[in-house]
Amino acid sequence: MQFRNYLQPGFTNLREIDLIEAAKVVVDECLKVQPGENVAIVTDTMQSWRLVESVAMAVNLAKAEYTLICTKPRKSMYGPKEITEPPAPVAGALKKADAAFLVGTTGLVFTSAVQEALDNGTRLLSSPGMSEDNFVRCVMIDHEELWETTKRVQSFFTNGRHCKLTSPQGTDLKFEIAFHPLGDRSGIPKPGTFDFLPAGIASAGFKKGTASGTIVIDGSFSRIGVLREPLVLTVQNGTIVKSEGGFEVREFRDMMDMFGDPNMYNPGIITTGTNPNAKFTGVPNEDERVIGMCSIMFGDNAKLHGGDNPAVMYLVSMLTTPRLVIDGQIIVENGMLKV
């Protein structure tokens, strides 16, 4: 690990200037930190220290107090407390903070530590797996304008019911939507609420048992990354009944079987991106925000959407060139938003 020589003035790398500018957007525009507030910044040993340090600098520039805590990476964002909950000092800092930024490699939003903080009125943002490049590109945007776009697209998910998803690769899926995101997902949390960064995602939960057809995943899949060959999934009555594909299909089957939860085979959430700076990288935290792409999340839709398919986890799959139609209205087609 390299340590900065704090006796030397200036920046060690011009990239740090971009990081601080992005951090100021997080602090000033998203968390709306005010002078004198207490801000908790929670990270882990796998995250870029330059990124975390830039957020602390931005809080300091806002004339607020920051508490910076670094822990061991959590093993998962879902699961029993022994693998998800942060150490007790983290819980204490979050609960006492006016605002908090979770920027480790694993999300903490489903832990009791975060829930206690929200119950106490903390404004909280979570950016699991955020890279320096992702941070600079996808955060340095006009969040008010982005929210207007996202709100417009989300209205079709919220008010719609019957969906048809197709793609040139062979996707042909029909399903109903019935559940919607908990919170407004604007990227600007209010007291007692949390949101994710980068912002820019519209979504809805599948109504359990309604999906039937074929899904061709040609982009990426959680824990596998960018696919070398598409995964072809046959879905009947809301669950995967057949999986085909190239080299990665065995890895996909082994991973799904590993959870031992039949609800993991159910499509749980459909999303499309609205962030103009997001690009396809193979990392779900950014891929889901790409304009013109759609993701299908398999597994849990209860925690984020209050849906009827609780599961031990959710996994994200990406379709790169989908056509999504809701109640006859084209939402996405040819890599573009149509609404």
Domains along the chain with CATH numbers: 15-138 (3.40.1830.10), 143-192+199-337 (no CATH)
The torsion angles phi and psi of 153, rounded to 5 degrees, stand at: -70, -40
pLDDT tier, 12 (very low <50, low <70, confident <90, very high otherwise): low
The answer to whether the CB of 242 falls within 8 A of the CB of 234 is yes
Q: Which of 86, 81, 183, 50 is nearest to 125 (CA)?
A: 183
For the stretch 198-219, pLDDT in tens is: 999 999 999 999 999 999 999 9
In DSSP notation, 162-183 reads EEEEE-TTS-EEEEEEEE--SS
Question: What does the pLDDT average to over 24-31?
Answer: 95
Cβ(94)–Cβ(118) below 8 Å: no
* Cα 185 to Cα 114: distance, rounded to the nearest angstrom: 17
State the average pLDDT over residues 144-165: 95
What is the residue whose two structure tokens read 């139609």? Answer: 325
pLDDT of residue 5: 38
For residues 253, 256, 261, 262, the Cα torsion angle rounded to the nearest 10 degrees is: -50
Model confidence, pTM = 0.89
Asked if 240 and 268 touch (Cβ cutoff 8 Å), the reply is no
The string of pLDDT tens digits covering residues 28-79 is 999 999 999 999 999 999 999 999 999 999 999 999 999 999 999 887 777 7
The fraction of the chain above a pLDDT of 70, given in percent, is: 96
Mean pLDDT of 250-264: 94
Q: Identify the three-state secondary structure at position 294.
A: strand
What's residue 84's pLDDT? 82
3-state DSSP assignment of residue 136: helix
Residue 167 predicted with pLDDT over 50: yes
The DSSP element (H or E) to which 215 belongs, if any, is strand 212-217
Per the document, the length of the chain is 339
Q: Can you read off the two tokens belonging to residue 193?
A: 């609420």
Distance CA 80, CA 92 (A): 20
Decide if pLDDT at 260 tops 70: yes
2 vs 311: which has the higher pLDDT:
311
Cα 173 vs. chain centroid, distance in angstroms? 24
Provide the pLDDT for residue 13.
63
